[in-house]
């Protein structure tokens, strides 16, 4: 997904009449993404979620996770997924379809 700021910049540069190749070079997105933005078919990051996504970026060297003990870049993705599954936010694919196809696995 492309940030709204980059989408706005691509649209601005398209309005100036620059080539798609030049816009892609200046903004760091692919030419296909420039074409998609030009046609209005891009999936940009919704405003307000940029901070949540940037919080997930890797910062610093790998360390031991207090939850699972693994050597990871924080936040630990495994512990995050396990917590989501326990709270019911996220389920495994086969559990989601178990009632339809039967209880056996």
Q: What range does the domain containing 27 cover? A: 4-39
Please tell me whether the overall predicted TM-score, pTM, comes out greater than 0.85 for this model: no
d(CA 52, CA 76): 15
Per-residue pLDDT at 105:
47
Q: Determine the distance from the C-alpha atom of residue 18 to the mean position of all C-alpha atoms in its chain, rounded to a whole number.
A: 28
Residue 100 pLDDT more than 70? no
pLDDT, tens only, 8-56:
899 999 999 899 999 999 999 999 999 999 888 776 555 555 454 445 5
Query: CB-based contacts of 21: which residues, under 8 Å, 6+ apart?
Result: 31
Strand intervals (E) in 6-103: 63-64, 71-72
Predicted local confidence at residue 71, as pLDDT: 87
| Both tokens assigned to 33 | 């993404």
Does residue 63 form part of some domain? yes
Within-domain flag for 14: yes
- The total number of structural domains that make up the chain: 2
What does the block give as tokens for 38?
Answer: 């030009």
Q: Say if 50 falls within a structural domain.
A: no
Q: Is residue 73 part of a domain?
A: yes
Residue with tokens 């209005």: 40
Provide the 10 A C-beta neighbour count for residue 93: 7
Contact by Cβ (8 Å): 37, 11? yes
Q: Is 34 inside any structural domain?
A: yes
Give me the mean pLDDT over the 87-92 stretch: 69
Domain membership flag for residue 105: no
pLDDT at 23: 93
Output 74 or 71, whichever has higher pLDDT.
Answer: 71
* pLDDT at residue 53, as a whole number: 47
């Amino acid at each position: 997904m492309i940030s709204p700021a980059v989408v706005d910049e691509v649209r601005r540069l398209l309005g100036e009449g620059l080539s798609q190749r030049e816009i892609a070079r200046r903004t760091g997105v692919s030419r296909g993404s420039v074409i998609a933005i030009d046609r209005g078919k891009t999936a940009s990051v919704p405003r307000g979620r940029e901070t949540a996504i940037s919080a997930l970026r890797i910062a610093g060297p790998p360390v031991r996770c207090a939850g699972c003990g693994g050597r990871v870049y924080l936040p630990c993705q495994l512990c995050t997924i396990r917590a989501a599954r326990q709270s019911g936010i996220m389920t495994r694919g086969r559990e989601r379809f178990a009632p339809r196809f039967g209880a056996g696995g």
